[in-house]
Amino acid sequence: MNDNTTWHYENFDPTGSAIGYRITRKLDEVQSPFQKIEIYESTDWGNLMLIDGAMMLTTKDNFLYHEMMSHPALFTHAAPKRVVIIGGGDCGTLREVLRHPGVESATQCDIDEQVTRMAEKWFPELCESNGDARAELLFDDGVAYMANCPAGSVDVVIVDSTDPVGPAEGLFNKAFYESCFRALKDDGILVQQSESPLMLVELIREMRGEMGKAGFNAFATLPFPQPCYPTGWWSCTLARKSGGFAFREDAARERGFATRYYTAEAHAAALVPPPFLAEALAG
Amino acid sequence: MNDNTTWHYENFDPTGSAIGYRITRKLDEVQSPFQKIEIYESTDWGNLMLIDGAMMLTTKDNFLYHEMMSHPALFTHAAPKRVVIIGGGDCGTLREVLRHPGVESATQCDIDEQVTRMAEKWFPELCESNGDARAELLFDDGVAYMANCPAGSVDVVIVDSTDPVGPAEGLFNKAFYESCFRALKDDGILVQQSESPLMLVELIREMRGEMGKAGFNAFATLPFPQPCYPTGWWSCTLARKSGGFAFREDAARERGFATRYYTAEAHAAALVPPPFLAEALAG
């Protein structure tokens, strides 16, 4: 190993744990009106994007998150045509959404244009669908965007945001979920990243509570591995106005596009919470 | 948080990543003839056991590893009666094995008695089946133990060891696997912890290669979350002399004992490698 490597650690106070990477150099940094974005080169994980010091993604493992934020919801909805992504400025979720040929339009609304500019530069593979005719990239306030969405116009809303502090704080409360509820059709699905199933279950319960106050009454929290996030184990939570989370297994199996983590079996298993999680969510 | 906490980091050179914990104090330390064992108290993960500076287990997340090292193999074998655990000195795997009422005897052979003594003191919940009449605890060389096992006497061998450096090095080569092959009945199963599926696939391939040279010809690598090990994502590899890895799903579903992670669905999903892993193992 060359002598210029250093170790960058990120301490996660809420989980009492830390994750670190061996870094070769800082590649870029920009202070946007909203947050500081830094790009590092690592020895084993490709490039890293940090926002206000918090790890957002690595070249090596982002496929886990992006596939699980999109495919479970899109294979659960009977025929998703209109998708909205709130946040998601790195464009990785957008790319996965657009792999579904039935999707007619996908709007990504991230408040911070600089996230997308940095992704284009340092994670170009995530941005390869940005030119798709079905894609719309907005740089605006996601809370306002959802509040102004025509009622009953959206099939799937994906909230692909940072944690509930700073710019993303407004994406984790009843008012925002009410906008999502109103914008979604009756069979629509809301998806949100929902933190560590092992260590942050209270946060998942609070999120489901706020979603419930907004009218959603069916929930599923799907765990998946995500090495670069606290505890290395993450989750997304799906919410519906009614109905369940049975998914189009045959379509998932014969999906006609490549995935690196998502399979029909992984989807099915993620729908069955480990007993400790089922208990914690019920408790 | 009180002012006496410190962060303990462990850098993993082969993965270029690190994991850390917020520590309140060191509880214990012993230098055995084989290795240094340290016990720390953490703010969020209960007690931690480190061997030669490497994280072995935490109170909070060891259930993932112990359940996945035992239940998939035991529900794959048609009727496991005689189980041998090589390593496993913390006794957590032994406890899980003994949850299966059909098991008639389970021998745990760890070279280092001090690991078990420290587990009894600081992880007593893992040792609660040590007094089971079916349990035999040996403190001896696992390589020699397997070499001396009567041929065709064992249903399941579980290699629950540290990484392939230091005392455990001899548990990852053809000679050792030949002993396992000989000791196993024709329908027997060998299980071994097999490192990170994301970052250490080369090691899994080598392990399967050595197992193959020893005569095993069917393999399955099952990934599972394990926050305290490098990348937070780990695996075990099952090997058989012949046949496949279809498991007794009904028995797994109606298992009659509590698990915190293992479910029939998690087992089924773990048998279908994520596409990236299938490709890497085939490549």
Task: Using pLDDT thresholds of 50, 70 and 90, give the confidence band for residue A170.
Answer: confident
Residues A248, A112: Cα–Cα separation, whole Å:
34
> Each residue of B58-76: pLDDT tens digit?
999 999 999 999 999 999 9
Subunit contact B233:A231, Cβ cutoff 8 A: no
The rounded percent of chain A whose pLDDT value lies above 70 is 99
User: Is position B141 annotated in a ligand binding site?
Assistant: yes
**Alpha-carbon gap, residue A200 to A64, rounded angstroms:** 19
Per-residue model confidence as pLDDT tens digits over A35-71: 999 999 999 999 999 999 999 999 999 999 999 999 9
How crowded is residue B137: how many other Cβ atoms within 10 Å of its Cβ?
Answer: 18
Interface test with A, best of B12, B17, B45, B234 (most A CBs within 10 A): B17
Q: In the structure, what pLDDT confidence band is assigned to residue A226 with cuts at 50, 70 and 90?
A: very high
pLDDT attached to residue A3: 64
Token readout for B170 is: 């001899």
Find the mean pLDDT for residues A238-243.
Answer: 94
Task: Pick A9's closest partner by Cβ from B9, B45, B60.
Answer: B9
Residue B283 has pLDDT above 60, yes or no: yes
Give the contacts of B223 (CB within 8 A, at least 6 positions apart).
A225, B197, B233, B234, B235, B270, B273, B274, B277
Share of chain B above pLDDT 70, in %: 99
pLDDT digits (tens, 9 = 90+) for B7-17: 999 999 999 99
B134 confidence band (pLDDT: 50, 70, 90): very high
- pLDDT value at position B9? 95
Gap between the Cα atoms of A69 and A235, Å rounded:
9
In this prediction, residue A22 has a pLDDT band, given cuts at 50, 70 and 90, of very high
Domain with CATH 3.40.50.150 in chain B: 61-281
Does the model's pTM come out above 0.90? yes
Residues forming CATH 2.30.140.10 domain(s) in chain A: 6-58
Alpha helices for A141-263 (secondary structure H): 142-148, 174-183, 201-213, 249-253
> How sure is the predictor about A4, in pLDDT bands with cuts at 50, 70 and 90?
confident
Active-site position among B140, B160, B187, B250: B160
What is the average pLDDT value for chain B, to the nearest integer? 95
Round to whole Å and give the CA distance between B215 and A193. Answer: 45
Which CATH entry fits the domain spanning B61-281: 3.40.50.150, 3.30.1330.60, 3.40.640.10, 3.30.590.10?
3.40.50.150
Overall average pLDDT of the B174-203 stretch: 95
Cβ distance B260 to A275 less than 8 Å, yes or no, reads: yes
Chain A residue numbers touching B20 (CB-CB < 8 A): 9, 11, 17-20
Percent of chain A topping pLDDT 90:
91
pLDDT at B2 over 70: no
Torsion of CA A40, A45, A50, A56, to 10 degrees: 160
**pLDDT tier at B162 (50, 70, 90 boundaries)?**
confident
The pLDDT, as a whole number, for residue B172 is 85
Minimal CA separation from B189 to chain A, in Å: 24
* Average pLDDT, integer, range A164-187: 90
pLDDT recorded at residue A87: 96
Q: Give CATH for domain A6-58.
A: 2.30.140.10
pLDDT at B163: 77
Segment B21-55, tens digit of pLDDT: 999 999 999 999 999 999 999 999 999 999 999 99
What is the reported pLDDT for A162? Answer: 80
Output the pLDDT for position A200: 86
The pLDDT score that the predictor gives to residue A243 is: 87
Contact B98, B158 (CB under 8 A): no
> Is B200 in contact with B115 (CB distance < 8 Å)?
no
pLDDT at residue A2 in the model: 54
